[in-house]
Structure 1
Amino acid sequence: MAAQAELVSDLKALRKGRGLYVNNVGERVGPKLRDLCGVTEQDGPGEIRLRVAQRLEHLAVELPDDLRMAALAAFGMIPAARRPLYQERVSWFAERIGRDPRTARRRIDDAIHQLAQLAFTPLRLRSGAEQAVGWHTLESRVILLLDGPMPEALETHRIMAAQDNLRELEVAPPFAQASVMYGGTLRNGVLVLASPLMAGQSCEFAIRSRNPVRPRQFLHMPRRRCDLLDLRVRFDTERLPRVVSRLQGRPVRERARVPIDNAGEIHVIFRDLTKGMPYGARWD
């Protein structure tokens, strides 16, 4: 396949010198690699580096361990292997696998060819389970403001696509009166993204929601993988709750008391959340 061969050529060009960390990275990322990673003419070096790294990492997950290491080391994406010369990264990889540099170079070539093959393999054939997921949450940051005339929630979410051409995703704001602050358009509980994402790309969006009824708890029950939930609640200092408890698990259990600071705020963090399990805080 000509397109696959062109991508292999682009990847081999990128691995030269400092790899992905070369200063003129925009000049080193060839046309096929640009298309694969969704790089545009408006992207600066930092954005280009991030887009390419995310896409290659996503593809490399499906490689055998040694080839995954080979690929990531070749482009300088493993911190310990971030050497200024490609040959130095080859030597680093050779030492790690206990082989000579010639064998290390062959494995890097194998890894690059398999990355190109994966890039042109339909996602449904590569990973049916991941296609069903579609995307996952890298981090959710929620601020509940309970010190104003109407309770308000400000949410910022950063998600990563697990499929190409991801255009929309379902959202569930904590309060009914919801609007998008940035990152897309809300239509009947579905967020239409500002721009479609390719697999491995991430984006951020923010939602504001309001509710006339003052809540006594906040619970988040992820329906997809969620790596981080950062929750802050700001209470009215004239009406501080007696007790605030951290909630987690099913049935919902009070895990620990959460202190209220001098500004009338609490802060709790959850990592590696389990799908279908509730997380949050309750106050009385």
Structure 2
Amino acid sequence: MAQESAEAKINALSTELKLLRKGLGVQAKNLPGNVGEALREVCGVHDDDAPGTVRAKVVATLVSLIEKLPAPQRETARIVLGFGTGANERYTARLELLGSGADRNVRTMQRRADDVLYLIAETAYQSPAEFGGAPPDSRDPWHTKTLAVRLTLTGAAAEVFETRRIVSHVAGLEEIEHGVSLARPASTTAPPDLSRLGIDVVAGGEVHSVRLASSTRVAFRLRPPRPLDAGDQHEFFFRIRLDELPVPFYCCTPEFPCDSFDLNVRFDRTEPPQRIWRIDGDLSKDAGDPVPPRKPLFLDSAGEVRTEFHGLQPARSYGVGWQPAG
């Protein structure tokens, strides 16, 4: 019975996705009013959500579900649902894009489109608690699609290069609140010195309003070149320079959901750490604790370690810890 119930849910969602793909797909003006019950459940849509919020939740969920598909099916799914196609390109025109070479039989293309929508529905119910990373709270203004960090350690100093791609959930998103937690070194009780903290945007906007949000957290705002609409994606690339890395670990502890996090740490070759471990979903207060058993990581020939995380949950910590030399 449980299997039949799951199959019924998948079929119901697949049917609703077939209705959604008609016309302009996700670019249709009437999308918020045409979201069926199954899709509303998967996307976390509430009865009192504004149309812009409904659109944002549906777009964010579908984007995340498509990313979970096998690589050959992702581009097909984007075309079928209307992502990245022309503003006035209707379903029949998009369907022709699925043809390749002599394989332009309408039935074949239609079957290919139906199959990929079934895969999306199936993926949505593989992990009911996540539903493809849709924001569980309609008040979330954005979420992180991809985060890539390159941390370079030279003696006590550290340099962080971060590339972050965010997806807006609201119309007119003008600023992204961001922050860095800098735990105090054991040798001092003083808060971080902002005058010695270097934060520079290399591409994607500008940094402003750098301030202390607490005794161990520095907050700042990232402003994109133009306001973002619901479903828009934008990428920031910025650098943070520290005279001293306060603690022997680096983590991402997201405030809003994060689809994926790629972390690369390059250690000082003259003082490699004694051991390195992966921090995966720990409570923030436990992230720096070296005692709990964790998966070990090992330096490559360049003195680096790299690890990836997917489906990061808010208020949990993900990253790398190490025991310094000596």
1:229 corresponds to? 261
Provide the C-alpha distance between the structure 1 equivalents of 2:240 and 2:178, rounded to a whole number of angstroms: 12
1:196 corresponds to? 227
Provide the C-alpha distance between the structure 2 equivalents of 1:72 and 1:155, rounded to a whole number of angstroms: 31
Instruction: Give the drift of 1:150.
Output: 3.0
Note if contact 1:173-1:209 (Cα within 8 Å) is conserved in structure 2: no
Aligned residue for 2:59, secondary structure, equals helix
1:263 aligns with 2:324: no
2:208 corresponds to? 187
Q: Which amino acid aligns with 1:242?
A: Q
With the length of structure 2 as denominator, give the TM-score of the two structures.
Answer: 0.52
Match of 2:243 among 212, 230, 233: 212
1:135 corresponds to? 142
1:280 aligns with 2:319: yes
Note if contact 1:141-1:230 (Cα within 8 Å) is conserved in structure 2: yes
Provide the C-alpha distance between the structure 2 equivalents of 1:190 and 1:231, rounded to a whole number of angstroms: 22
Q: Which amino acid aligns with 2:227?
A: P
Aligned residue for 1:167, secondary structure, equals coil
1:171 aligns with 2:187: no
Instruction: Give the drift of 1:157.
Output: 0.3
Note if contact 1:246-1:254 (Cα within 8 Å) is conserved in structure 2: no
Note if contact 1:244-1:282 (Cα within 8 Å) is conserved in structure 2: yes
Instruction: Give the drift of 1:240.
Output: 0.4
Provide the C-alpha distance between the structure 2 equivalents of 1:174 and 1:76, rounded to a whole number of angstroms: 50
Which structure's residues are more often helix, by fraction?
A: 1
Identity %: 26
Provide the C-alpha distance between the structure 2 equivalents of 1:234 and 1:59, rounded to a whole number of angstroms: 33
Q: Which amino acid aligns with 1:216?
A: P
Q: Which amino acid aligns with 2:179?
A: A
| Structure 1 runs not aligned, ≥5 long | 1-10, 21-28, 34-53, 62-67, 97-126
CA shift digits 1:30-68 (9 cap, x unpaired): 9x89xxxxxxxxxxxxxxxxxxxx98972996xxxxxx9
Report 1:26-65 matches (<5 A). 58=59
Note if contact 2:135-2:257 (Cα within 8 Å) is conserved in structure 1: no
Provide the C-alpha distance between the structure 2 equivalents of 1:275 and 1:224, rounded to a whole number of angstroms: 5
Q: 1:76 to 1:228 in 2, by over 3 A?
A: farther
Q: Which amino acid aligns with 1:58?
A: V
Q: Which amino acid aligns with 1:82?
A: L
Q: What is the root-mean-square deviation of aligned Cα atoms in Å?
A: 4.2
Provide the C-alpha distance between the structure 2 equivalents of 1:56 and 1:77, rounded to a whole number of angstroms: 26
Report 1:115-130 matches (<5 A). none
Instruction: Give the drift of 1:208.
Output: 0.4
Note if contact 2:99-2:109 (Cα within 8 Å) is conserved in structure 1: no
1:75 aligns with 2:82: no
Instruction: Give the drift of 1:201.
Output: 1.2
Aligned residues: 202
| Structure 2 runs not aligned, ≥5 long | 1-21, 31-54, 63-76, 83-89, 116-133, 183-196, 210-219
